[in-house]
């Protein structure tokens, strides 16, 4: 639970304060959202730029976000207000995911592009089963190359 909250907070900050820069970085290195993205998000909390992020810095940024989306100004986020915040928060990731799926970048995800992760999974499983088969059947496949050398001996 704690990890999810932190992740949400970091995503929130990245979207809210890192907007354009974060999006650019993402489009450049689509697959690096994990480790590097995490570091980048933490830097976005680092308001005084000393390279470390204090809980205070994070708190300030998050509370600023609350104020921004507190459209009725009662000091709290209702679920409707949070919905707006949350939508803004996930939009960058949503767009990024769409662009990731849209392999040829024509703005439309075809059935083939949509199913590409399933194709990759299938290839992975085939590779894995091939690797699993190899030691179990030493004669198969090696018979052509190494096998002939062994016959010479
Ligand atoms: Ca700092
Ligand atoms: Ca409110
Ligand atoms: Ca496409």
With tokens 């088969």, the residue in question is 133
Contacts of 108 (CB under 8 A, 6+ apart): 102
Q: Where do the domains of the chain lie?
A: 1-29+39-89, 102-138
Q: What is the pLDDT of residues 2-11, one digit of tens each?
A: 556 555 555 5
Distance (Å) from CA 14 to ligand 2 centroid:
22
Distance (Å) from CA 138 to ligand 3 centroid:
43
Q: Contact at 8 Å (CB) between 27 and 96?
A: yes
pLDDT at 92: 84
Q: How would residue 55 be classed by pLDDT, with cut points 50, 70 and 90?
A: very high
Q: Which ligand is nearest to the CA of 74?
A: 2
Q: How would residue 33 be classed by pLDDT, with cut points 50, 70 and 90?
A: very low
3-state helix, strand, coil in the chain (%, to 5): 75, 0, 25
Q: What is the pLDDT of residues 64-112, one digit of tens each?
A: 999 999 999 999 999 999 999 999 889 988 999 999 999 999 999 999 9
Distance (Å) from CA 83 to ligand 2 centroid:
12
């Amino acid at each position: 639970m704690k990890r999810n909250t932190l992740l949400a907070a970091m995503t929130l900050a990245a979207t809210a304060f890192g907007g354009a820069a974060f999006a650019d970085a993402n489009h450049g290195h689509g697959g690096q959202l994990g480790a590097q993205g995490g570091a980048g998000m933490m830097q976005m909390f680092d308001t005084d730029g000393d390279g470390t992020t204090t809980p205070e810095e994070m708190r300030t940024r998050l509370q600023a976000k609350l104020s921004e989306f507190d459209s009725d100004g009662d000091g709290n986020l209702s679920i409707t207000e949070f919905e707006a915040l949350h939508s803004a928060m996930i939009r960058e990731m949503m767009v990024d995911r769409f662009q990731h799926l849209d392999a040829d970048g024509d703005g439309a995800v075809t059935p083939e592009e949509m199913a590409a992760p399933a194709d990759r999974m299938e290839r992975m499983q085939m590779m894995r089963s091939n690797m699993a088969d190899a030691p179990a059947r030493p004669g198969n496949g090696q018979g052509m190359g190494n096998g002939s050398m062994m016959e010479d001996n």
